[in-house]
């Protein structure tokens, strides 16, 4: 998004009928433009800032609407520029008339997120905070809002600032040794610098890892029930969605397509899939179902692998289990009411296996509690969700630090110093000291709505 000189305007409230509709104007000409269409007891330039006034908007001689108006004088405004907020009546026609009127007087329509973009450009907020505002607006779950609020309150900055401080100190140390090579650098100093760099790297890793887990809570998780035909996947699906959603029958190959339902597990939106039983024979429709099952398996966050515990594990099943093992599935050992095959039970790791019966519901409580815990434990107590753009910045800083570490080992201190400087420059995008490159800004602000 380009940083334009134009004065911008936009409707800040959602489209449709509303009691009030808010129009925002920001930029050097904001007062001139609004002043030319607003009439009240006092002339516009006599209005006090941050004070509400009642008045009327006129299009030439034609009355447009009776409105309330607030004037913000730069830099004490959301964008850091001169701004006016007009509280008009919330009808589509009225608001579009006001916008059209302001444009005729010289304002330009704002791009999505442009007000917030100006706020960031003018140092009113960090990109992290800007992003959190959008997340607060768009979050659909309680957990999502909680994460956005954490970020808004600067918990990410609290992570970054100490890290930045330590790296700056390390840089000063290295630079001193470069400036006075005759003194050399003390081994104790080298090891301290190494430690600082290493701990910065692990701090970044920790942030990224926690963010990854937060991501799950925001976007919702995907879970698939899979396994051989006829083991009871659909029966378990129906229990979990608390509805007879899918057909259950003793005929293997009943489910042929992916079926899904959304559940709320521990405040996380979870999309649960029932799938076609995995086997290599069957007609073309069933084989297509199996192909879709595998495709989905590769993308889900958690796999629930269902096995008939009353029977020995078949060779085909062993192959599937082997392939999925590193995905750490939950193993649902079903049909325990028909008897349990001890060998089958012992084929699965104790902490991930659940002996259940979809028929009698025995064991379902224990499984559902573990299922809930899996999502509950995903919310790190001090984690912050980072968008791909912000994570990208962190990863870049980390790459520079990894290079610095290597160069310190090789006693190439001047190279190490430049790596640390690059890492600090990269981190400065996050602390608001520098504006990130255009493509990063675009990726953040393009997700905003117009008027924000
Ligand atoms: N005794 C017993 N029967 C079960 C249990 N769970 C499912 N069944 C029966 O097993 C048969 C298959 O159940 P489904 O839920 O359709 O199994 P599925 O894995 O979805 O089967 P496909 O869709 O064909 O792959 C049905 O007749 C169910 O009633 C159980 O815990 N105990
Ligand atoms: Mg089925």
For residue 247, the CA-to-ligand 1 centroid distance in Å is 10
Alpha helical stretches, state H, 271-363:
284-297, 315-324, 342-346
Cβ(277) – ligand 1 distance below 6 Å: yes
Are the C-beta atoms of residues 321 and 241 closer than 8 Å to each other? no
CA distance 99 to 8: 10
Exposure string of 219-258, with b = 16+ CB inside 10 Å and e = fewer, is: ebbbbbbbbbbbbbbbbbbbbbbeeebbebeeeebbbbee
**pLDDT for position 181:** 67
Alpha helical stretches, state H, 36-126:
92-104, 114-121
Listed in order, the ranges of the chain carrying CATH 1.20.120.430 are: 133-216+384-431
CA distance 374 to 228: 24
CATH topology of domain 220-355: Rossmann fold (3.40.50)
| CATH number assigned to the domain with residue range 8-126, chosen from the 4 options 3.40.50.2030, 3.30.1360.120, 3.40.640.10, 3.40.50.620 | 3.30.1360.120
For residue 225, the CA-to-ligand 2 centroid distance in Å is 9
Cβ(252) – ligand 1 distance below 6 Å: yes
Burial of 282 (0-12, 13-18, 19+ CB in 10 A): middle
pTM of the model: 0.70
Q: Which ligand is nearest to the CA of 244?
A: 1
Listed in order, the ranges of the chain carrying CATH 3.40.50.300 are: 220-355
Residue located nearest, by CA, to atom 7 of ligand 1? 232
For residue 68, the CA-to-ligand 1 centroid distance in Å is 65
Query: Per residue of the chain (452 residues), what is the pLDDT tens digit?
Result: 778 999 999 999 998 889 999 999 999 999 999 999 999 999 999 999 999 999 999 999 999 999 999 999 999 999 999 999 999 999 899 999 999 999 999 999 999 999 999 999 999 999 999 999 998 888 777 778 888 898 898 888 888 899 999 999 999 988 887 777 666 677 778 899 999 999 999 999 999 988 888 877 777 789 999 999 999 999 999 999 999 989 999 999 899 999 999 998 877 889 999 999 998 877 888 889 899 999 999 999 999 999 999 999 999 999 999 999 999 999 999 999 999 999 999 999 999 999 999 999 999 999 999 999 988 776 677 778 888 888 999 999 999 999 999 999 998 999 999 999 999 999 999 888 888 888 888 888 888 888 88
Closest ligand 1 atom, CA of 253?
Answer: 24
Task: Return the closest-CA partner of residue 398 out of 158, 193, 205, 167.
Answer: 205
For residue 327, the CA-to-ligand 2 centroid distance in Å is 22
Superfamily classification of domain 133-216+384-431:
tRNA modification GTPase MnmE domain 2 (1.20.120.430)
Closest ligand 1 atom, CA of 256?
Answer: 23
Helices vs. strands in the chain: H and E counts, helices first:
15, 13
Cβ(166) – ligand 1 distance below 6 Å: no
Cβ(211) – ligand 1 distance below 6 Å: no
Cβ(358) – ligand 1 distance below 6 Å: yes
**267: part of which helix (H) or strand (E)?**
none
Residue located nearest, by CA, to atom 17 of ligand 1? 232
Listed in order, the ranges of the chain carrying CATH 3.30.1360.120 are: 8-126
For residue 368, the CA-to-ligand 1 centroid distance in Å is 19
């Amino acid at each position: 998004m380009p940083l334009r000189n134009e004065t911008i305007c936009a409707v800040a409230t959602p489209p449709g009928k509303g009691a009030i509709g808010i129009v925002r104007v920001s930029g050097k000409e904001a007062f001139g433009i609004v002043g030319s269409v607003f009439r009240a007891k006092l002339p516009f330039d006599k209005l006090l800032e941050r004070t509400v006034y009642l008045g009327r908007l006129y299009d030439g001689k034609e009355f447009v609407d009776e409105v309330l108006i607030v004037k913000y004088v730069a830099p004490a405004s959301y964008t850091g520029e001169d701004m006016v907020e007009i509280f008009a009546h919330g009808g589509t026609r009225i608001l579009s008339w006001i916008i059209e009127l302001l444009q005729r007087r010289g304002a330009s329509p704002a791009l999505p997120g442009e007000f917030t973009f100006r706020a960031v450009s003018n140092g009113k907020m960090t990109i992290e905070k800007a992003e959190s505002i959008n997340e607060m607006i768009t979050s659909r779950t309680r957990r999502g809002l909680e994460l956005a609020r954490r970020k808004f309150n600067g918990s990410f900055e609290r992570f970054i600032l100490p890290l930045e401080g330590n790296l700056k100190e390390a840089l000063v140390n290295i630079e001193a040794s470069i400036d006075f090579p005759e003194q050399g650098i003390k081994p104790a100093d080298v090891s301290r610098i190494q430690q600082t760099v290493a701990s910065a790297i692990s701090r970044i890793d920790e942030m990224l890892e926690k963010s990854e887990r937060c991501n799950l809570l925001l976007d919702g998780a995907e879970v698939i029930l899979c396994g051989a035909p006829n083991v009871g996947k659909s029966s378990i699906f129906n229990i979990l969605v608390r509805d007879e959603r899918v057909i259950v029958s003793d005929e293997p190959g009943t489910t042929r397509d992916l079926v899904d339902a959304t559940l709320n597990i521990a405040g996380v939106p979870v999309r649960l899939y029932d799938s076609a039983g995995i086997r290599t024979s069957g007609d073309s429709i069933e084989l297509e179902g199996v192909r879709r099952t595998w495709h989905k398996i590769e993308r889900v966050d958690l796999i629930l692998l269902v096995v008939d515990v009353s029977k020995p594990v078949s060779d085909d099943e062993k192959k599937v289990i082997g392939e999925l093992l590193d995905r750490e599935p939950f193993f649902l050992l079903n049909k325990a009411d028909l008897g349990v095959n001890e060998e089958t039970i012992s084929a699965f790791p104790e902490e991930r296996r659940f002996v259940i019966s979809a028929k009698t519901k025995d064991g379902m409580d224990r499984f559902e509690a573990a299922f809930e815990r899996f999502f509950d434990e995903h919310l790190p107590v001090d984690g912050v969700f980072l968008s791909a753009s912000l994570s990208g910045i962190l990863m870049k800083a980390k790459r520079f630090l990894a290079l610095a570490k290597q160069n310190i080992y090789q006693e190439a201190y001047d190279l190490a110093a430049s790596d640390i400087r690059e890492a600090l420059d990269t981190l400065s995008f996050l602390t608001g000291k520098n504006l990130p490159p255009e493509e990063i800004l675009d990726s953040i602000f393009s997700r905003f709505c117009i008027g924000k």
